[in-house]
Amino acid sequence: MTITITAFAQSPDRGRGLARDMSVRWALEEVGQPYAVRLLSFAAMKEADHLALQPFGQIPTYEDGDLTLFESGAIVFHIAQRYMGLLPDDEGARARAINWMFAALNTVEPPILQREGAMLTERDKPWHAERLPMLDGQVHDRLAALACRLGDATWIDGAFSAGDLLLVNVLRRLTTSGLLAAYPNLLAYVARGEGRPAFQRAFADQLGVFIGAEQSG
């Protein structure tokens, strides 16, 4: 049975590969697993059929036979455990790769999302100009530590893993912010991730949905 994931029918990121299905698409491309995509409107995401799969009315979901999952990180973790290519065979290296998966989503991403939310919803507020440097500082704290740890390595811990996939996906949220410019090794790291054929296929698929929606709209 073909794996089925859900994604936005009209992505708010305008096809830039920032929607949460991107990491799932990329993971499936890395391990060479075919998948189908069920596109959902914002209204359909709040209907009972989808809420039965994703109780918070979000995307993506993952269906494979009797198994249904939600939360992109959990889905990527499942894919990495089930199929070869995203987690090392060595027990210690595997544990470290999983460690970086959690670090990407629980440590690196939160201040980035907080800043992103402020840029989207608070730009007209009187406190925005004073608050933004604080938010930038919190992001820089994470980036500086990550840049130090990465050093001149190609990937975060040996061979490319699901940890790198999620880290690159998180860092891509800063592409237009200018904050990554202070960390040349992180810029190069993101570029290496984006240059992987699996990423290119996943990105093209997500962009194609947006272009198709615009042309039919």
Between the CA of residue 83 and those of 87, 127, 201, what are the distances in Å?
9, 48, 18
pLDDT digit string, tens, across residues 49-101 = 999 999 999 999 999 999 999 999 999 999 999 999 999 999 999 999 999 99
Q: Is residue 189's pLDDT more than 90?
A: yes
Question: Residue 139: helix, strand or coil by DSSP?
Answer: helix
pLDDT digit string, tens, across residues 28-54 = 999 999 999 999 999 999 999 999 999
> Count of alpha carbons within 13 Å of 147, Cβ hemisphere only?
17
- Per-residue confidence at 162, pLDDT binned at 50, 70, 90? very high
Q: Is residue 208's pLDDT more than 90?
A: no
pLDDT of residue 131: 79
Q: How far apart are the first and last CA of the chain?
A: 32
Q: What is the pTM of this model?
A: 0.94
Q: What are phi and psi of 181, to 5 degrees?
A: -60, -25
pLDDT digit string, tens, across residues 172-185 = 999 989 999 999 99
pLDDT digit string, tens, across residues 10-23 = 888 887 888 999 99
C-alpha–C-alpha distance, residues 191 and 53, integer Å: 34
- Per-residue confidence at 216, pLDDT binned at 50, 70, 90? low
